[in-house]
Amino acid sequence: MSVTVDQIRVPAPVGCGERPVLKERGQHEVFCGLTGIMWLHRKIQDAFFLIVGSRTCAHLMQSAAGVMIFAEPRFGTAIMDERDLAGIADMHDELDDVVEKLLARRPEIRLLFLVGSCPSEVIKFDLGKAAQRLSVRHSPDVRILNYSGSGIETTFTQGEDACLASLVPTLPAEPENAPAELMVVGALPDVVEDQFSRLFQQMGIGAARFLPARLADDMPPVGPNTFFLLAQPFLTETARELEDRGATLIQAPFPLGAEGTTAWLKAAADAFGVDDATFESVVAAPRERAQRAVEKLQPALEGKSVFFFPDSQLEIPLARFLSAELGMVPSEVGTPYLNKRLVAPDLNALPEGVQVSEGQDVDIQLDRCRAERPDITVCGLGLANPLEVEGLTTKWSIELVFTPIQGYEQAGDLAELFARPLNRRTRLEV
């Protein structure tokens, strides 16, 4: 079925009710945006991510996720040294040489991201200029883009946002009268992407396009005929860039759990005029599977309290899933950045009395967490073991970013991620 743009019905976005948000500015214990490269470089199979930074950046990349399993990953760091900073070496010349060597070594690379870091941003090293210059030199074999993953501007998943936002202006334009097209935005595991693809096909929406695509030359076109669903809540800049290209956001809860996934799919189905009977026939079976998988874990999780330290911006949608679908009780839900427009549907579904906090002052937040003694604490890798020592059960938040959790078929896995630490506690007799 081909739908014209004026047939699309996107409801006006909902706002958030009045909910007090605790805003904190103190020590942040969160990764910087460079960390996003760990999944992005696997997602876009012919892209290379070159960090222009320091030894710290390189050390972060190999320490943070233990990614040394890859024979030769498609990322690297151009480490600035004294000569660069003292002006003895021209940094642009040096960078050109590094890129030259890199592309000679990796001829299969079609898309190169120059990724800014804290030190490159502080010295105002102009990567935009470098990308333009290098694009000319290496065109048409390699496209070269830039974005900043620096910790002074981006927190953890905001790195993906910055990366995708840098891609949007380069997406091909769609002609005025092109039929309406659905775009799903945000890196998803391939298996999840394929599941969503099949569901949209079965509903008759047609071939949904995904950003980022798996190959640099397959990036989806964009235009006023593009209607997009966000698969991840942290894509503030990307959404804005897409809107600048004329695309329209379909606001929805995020596709976590049976209900979240249904609402997310339904938002697209409604926009594209899929009738209820068709929608039901497509989602009934997988929704039922998801409900069964989640219900199985409900006895272990129902009534348990959960405390989120800020990490990935997935915290609000996750808290919605845990409270609405598993009966868990969120106490504090911390997020590094609260984009009310994007998370409104999930935020509105949180029960009254849940403390939402934005930003961090880690020592004070730890005091609150210790005072509350939640049944499960979702936190970063640096905090988990020390909290376990204090008798708190923790869940590494990074696992929620590295694991397929979206969609019907993963709903049970997502619940299981929270059930497992509790289950482990009950097994151990030592």
Partner 1 sequence: MQLTVWTYEGPPHVGAMRVATAMTDLHYVLHAPQGDTYADLLFTMIERRKARPPVTYTTFQARDLGADTSQLFMDAARDAQARFQPAAMIVGASCTGELIQDDPGGLSKTLGLPCPVIPLELPSYSKKENWGASETFYQLVRTIAPHGPDKSDQGRPSCNIIGPTALGFRHRDDVREIVGLLEVMGIDVNVVAPLDASVHDLLLLKQADFNVCLYPETGLIACQWLKRSFRQEFTKTVPIGVGATGDFMREVAALTGISDEEIEALISEQEVRLPWYSRSIDSTYLTGKRVFLFGDATHVIAMARVAAEEMGYEVVGLGTYSREFARDVREAGERHGVEALITDDYLEVEAKIAELQPELVLGSQMERHIAKRLGLPCAVISSPVHVQDFPARYSPQMGFEGANVLFDTLVHPLTMGLEEHLLHMFRDDFEFNDEAGPSHLGHGSARAPVKTEPQNEADAATIAPTDTALRWTVEGEAELKKIPFFVRGKARRNTERYATERGLAEISLETLYEAKSHFSR
Q: Is 119 in the site for partner 1 (CB under 8 A)?
A: yes
Residue 52 or residue 271: which is nearer to partner 1 going by CB?
52
From the CB of 44, what's the least distance to partner 1, in Å? 14
Q: Is 152 in the site for partner 1 (CB under 8 A)?
A: yes
From the CB of 24, what's the least distance to partner 1, in Å? 12
Sign of CA dihedral 347, 348, 351, 357: positive
All residues at 6 or more sequence positions from 322 whose CB lies less than 8 Å from its CB, including other chains: 301, 306, 328, 330, 418
Binding residues for partner 1 restricted to 82-101, rule: CB under 8 A: 82, 84-85, 89, 91, 94-95, 97-98, 101
Residue 20 or residue 107: which is nearer to partner 1 going by CB?
107
Q: Is 59 in the site for partner 1 (CB under 8 A)?
A: yes
Residue 53 or residue 412: which is nearer to partner 1 going by CB?
53
Please report the DSSP string for 99-157 in residue order.
Answer: HHHHHHH-TT--EEEEEE-HHHHHTT--HHHHHHHHHHHHTTT-EEEEEE--TTT-BTT
From the CB of 362, what's the least distance to partner 1, in Å? 8
Cα–Cα distance for residue pair 155/311, rounded to 1 Å: 8
Binding residues for partner 1 restricted to 365-404, rule: CB under 8 A: 380-386, 389
From the CB of 76, what's the least distance to partner 1, in Å? 5
Residue 101 or residue 292: which is nearer to partner 1 going by CB?
101
Kindly tell me which residue out of 1, 14, 22, 123 binds partner 1, with binding defined by CB under 8 A.
Answer: 123
Please report the DSSP string for 330-396 in residue order.
Answer: EEEEEES---HHHHHHHHHTSPTT-EEEEEE-HHHHHHHHHHH--SEEEE-HHHHHHHHHTT--EEE
Beta strand 181-185 with 209-211 is parallel
Binding residues for partner 1 restricted to 331-370, rule: CB under 8 A: 363
All residues at 6 or more sequence positions from 223 whose CB lies less than 8 Å from its CB, including other chains: 173, 174, 175, 176, 178, 245, 246, 247
User: How many residues at the interface with partner 1, by CB under 8 A?
Assistant: 66
Cα–Cα distance for residue pair 28/360, rounded to 1 Å: 5
Residue 41 or residue 209: which is nearer to partner 1 going by CB?
41
Residue 59 or residue 340: which is nearer to partner 1 going by CB?
59
Residue 29 or residue 237: which is nearer to partner 1 going by CB?
29
Residue 77 or residue 232: which is nearer to partner 1 going by CB?
77
Q: Is 111 in the site for partner 1 (CB under 8 A)?
A: no
Cα–Cα distance for residue pair 52/148, rounded to 1 Å: 10
Q: Is 68 in the site for partner 1 (CB under 8 A)?
A: yes
| Contact criterion met (CB below 8 Å) for 96 and 114 | no
Q: Which chain residues interact with partner 1 by CB under 8 A?
A: 26-35, 50, 54-56, 58-60, 62-64, 66, 68-82, 84-85, 89, 91, 94-95, 97-98, 101-102, 108, 118-119, 121-123, 150-153, 155, 363, 380-386, 389
